Amino acid sequence: MELGMVLMRNIWLILYYGVAWKLPMQPMPGYKLFYAIRRFLVRKLLSECGTGVVVKDRCYFGNGKNLHVGSYSQLGQNCRLQGQVVLGNHVMMGPDVVIMGITHDVSRIDIPMNTPDLPTIEKPVKVGNDVWLGTRVILMPGVEIGDHSIVGAGAVVTKSFPAYSIIAGVPAKIIGTRRSELNT
């Protein structure tokens, strides 16, 4: 990457994490301006950022290079996104959601787990279109959530689920479906 581009990216990161990520959100006066500022900066940082994306306060996504966010999706308040993460269109995210697309390789017992030398493994996480991630949901590495699904608050998702799933629990499991023909 050209030096000028690296410098600009670092400036955008400083502006986002130094100022914009702390700006208040709704219902505080001026929240629409604060959303616009965060959206402007996020568009400069993410690999892909659709139109109408809402970024709530204190959303952490590292340098943003591995994050793809579809149109009209939300990055929830105080969320934490790490590794390769793809969010579809119209994804709704409650506060404190954690999406981990990276994990430590713990297969080597000759290296202590708390050492910086412990290798990492990237396992992309994909969230489909029209998905609702409730408050404090945790998506573990390699998980895929199908379109039109709901993940209940506090769920720890360790495996993938198909479209139209209603998912909850620790570990998460299907507790229902959004397809009406299957609910009768």
Cβ-Cβ contacts under 8 Å for 10 (sequence gap 6 or more): none
Its pTM stands at 0.91
Q: Which domain holds residue 144?
A: 3-182
**Domain of residue 166, CATH code:** 2.160.10.10
Domain count, the chain: 1
pLDDT of res. 30: 87
| Structure tokens belonging to residue 15 | 């502006």
Digit-coded pLDDT (tens) for 45-66 = 999 999 999 999 999 999 999 9
pLDDT of res. 22: 93
Digit-coded pLDDT (tens) for 3-13 = 888 999 999 99
Q: Name which of 117, 75, 66 is nearest 96 in CA terms.
A: 75
Confidence of residue 183 (pLDDT cuts 50, 70, 90): low
Digit-coded pLDDT (tens) for 103-160 = 988 888 888 888 877 888 999 999 999 999 999 999 999 999 999 999 999 999 999 9
Q: Catalytic site residues?
A: 104
Cβ-Cβ contacts under 8 Å for 54 (sequence gap 6 or more): 35, 39, 73, 74, 75
